């Protein structure tokens, strides 16, 4: 993929995120965090394959920031109880796998992090709050 194409895709994704945030509820915002983390991990995998060390590091740093400062920080231990505690541990594990991938230049830990995030995202999507019925005119 050429550099202009990568920039165009990045701009499209960023615009989609920026325009989606104001109208999103809390559940949708968490899904958006998963989307962002997964996109950053995919970017890191591509940069690992191409030998772009600096780009890989930036993508992994972005993924870690989303998981740690977004997903993990949004947990409410009081309201979430044991599930929140388990999720916090899982998010910390994902961050450790991302760090490992960067330090060892290995795809395996990236794949594991991606798989875990995908499973969590799917589970989160399945518990979407009920949407009110649209009134028919």
Taking residues 29-38, report their average pLDDT.
94
- Does residue 60 contact residue 91 with C-beta atoms inside 8 Å? no
**52 part of a folded domain:** yes
In the chain, the percentage of residues whose pLDDT exceeds 70 is 77
Three-class HEC string of 123-135: HHHHCCCCCCCCC
Answer whether residue 47 is part of any domain: yes
Of residues 13 and 32, the one with the higher pLDDT is 32
Q: Which residues make Cβ contacts (< 8 Å) with residue 58, sequence separation at least 6? A: none
Helix (H, G, I), strand (E, B) or coil at 128: coil
Residue 20 lies in a domain: no
| CATH assignment at residue 92 | 1.20.120.340
In-domain check, residue 50: yes
Is residue 136 a part of any domain in this protein?
no
Please tell me the total count of domains within the chain. Answer: 1
Query: Which tops the pLDDT comparison, 97 or 24?
Result: 97
In-domain check, residue 84: yes
Q: Is the pLDDT of residue 15 over 60?
A: no
Count of residues in the chain = 137
Tell me the pLDDT tens digit for each residue of 79-131: 889 999 999 999 999 999 999 999 999 999 999 999 999 999 999 999 877 65
**Residue 69 pLDDT class (50, 70, 90 cuts):** very high
Q: What is the pLDDT at residue 61?
A: 97
Residue 80: give the domain boundaries.
26-126
Residue at 15 is within a domain = no
pTM of the model: 0.78
Residue 116 included in any domain: yes
């Amino acid at each position: 993929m050429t550099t202009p194409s990568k920039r165009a895709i990045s701009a499209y994704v960023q615009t989609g995120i920026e325009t989606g945030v104001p109208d999103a509820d809390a559940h949708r915002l968490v899904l958006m965090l998963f989307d962002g983390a997964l996109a950053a991990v995919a970017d890191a995998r591509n940069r690992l394959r191409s030998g772009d060390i600096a780009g890989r590091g930036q993508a992994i740093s972005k993924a870690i920031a989303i998981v740690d400062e977004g997903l993990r920080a949004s947990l409410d231990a009081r309201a979430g109880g044991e599930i929140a505690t388990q999720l916090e541990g899982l998010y910390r594990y994902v961050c450790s796998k991302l760090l490992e991938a960067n330090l060892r230049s290995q795809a395996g830990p990236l794949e594991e992090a991606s798989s875990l995030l995908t499973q969590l995202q799917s589970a989160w999507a399945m518990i979407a709050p009920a949407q009110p019925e649209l009134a028919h005119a």
